[in-house]
Amino acid sequence: MQAIINGKILLPDGEIAGKALVFDHQIRGLCDAPPADCQVFDAQGLYVSPGFVDVHIHGYLGADVSDGDENGLRALARGILRNGVTSFLPTTMTVPWEELERAFDVIRAFMAESAAPGFDGAQALGCHAEGPFINPNKKGAQAESAIIAPDADKLLAHADIIRLVTIAPEMPGAIDCIRAVRGSMRVSIGHTDASYDQAMAGLAAGADHFTHTFNAMTGLSHRAPGVVGAALSSDAYCELIADTFHVHPAVFRILRRCKGDRLVLITDCTRAGGLADGEYTLGGQPIYVHGIECRLADGTIAGSVLRMNEAVRNYRDHTGAPMHEAVRCASLNPARSIGVDGRKGSLEPGKDADILLLDGDCQVRGAWGRGTLLF
Could you list the active site residues? 268
Instruction: Write the CB contacts of 56 (distance below 8 Å, at least 6 apart in sequence).
Output: 89, 91, 128, 130, 164, 211, 212, 239, 266, 267, 268
Give the Cα separation of 303 and 58 in Å (integer).
8
- The span from the CA of 228 to the CA of 210, in Å, is 9
* Cα distance between residue 351 and residue 92, in whole Å: 28
| DSSP string computed for 174-203 | HHHHHHHHTTTSEEEE-SB---HHHHHHHH
Report d(CA 373, CA 208) in Å as an integer. Answer: 35
Identity of the amino acid at 185: M
DSSP structural state of residue 122: P
Residues ≥6 apart with Cβ < 8 Å to 76:
57, 59, 60, 61, 63, 65, 90, 121
CB contact at 8 A, 307 and 252: no
Of 56, 64, 62, nearest to 284 (Cα)?
A: 64
Q: Which among 2, 33, 27 has a CA at the least distance from the CA of 348?
A: 27
- For Cα atoms 16, 20, 23, give the angle at the middle one, nearest 5 degrees: 115
13 by Cβ neighbours in 10 Å (0-12 / 13-18 / 19+) ranks as exposed
